[in-house]
Structure 1
């Protein structure tokens, strides 16, 4: 199970239609699509308040950063 907080990323990965907006995406993208088609991986939506990886992709307040650390079991 792979959790995303981006509903649009999940839709692009699951949709077999190649959109003009995703022309820049390289071979790694196609690998993920193949893994999904083979049912070796599932994508699931995770709410941003429950996503411990937010501190890796966003600037956060100290409270939110502490929350992400707690979700990961750090500090």
Structure 2
């Protein structure tokens, strides 16, 4: 089963808990898709520490040391 790594504990809880909360009324349809995939056991979601998240390379401006670390995590550095 594929594993989706996430560095946000809040996002993990939103994906696993289908209960509606007033603060989550803005949640996009994509989140509902993730919930469905998790319920069907087609995907697992797991916590990854922010410092070990290679996706930061694609989503943030990073200092050169952090950039090099993320590149190494992706196997391109």
**TM-score when normalising by structure 2:** 0.87
SS at match of 1:17: coil
Aligned to 2:67: 65
Aligned to 2:4: 2
**TM-score when normalising by structure 1:** 0.90
Give matches, 1:28-47, under 5 Å.
28-47=30-49
Please state how far the C-alpha of 1:56 moved relative to its aligned partner. Answer: 2.1
Please state how far the C-alpha of 1:22 moved relative to its aligned partner. Answer: 1.5
Please state how far the C-alpha of 1:73 moved relative to its aligned partner. Answer: 1.1
Aligned to 1:24: 26
Structure 2: gaps spanning 5 or more residues: none
Q: Cα RMSD over matched residues?
A: 1.1
How many residue pairs match? The answer is 75
SS at match of 2:5: strand
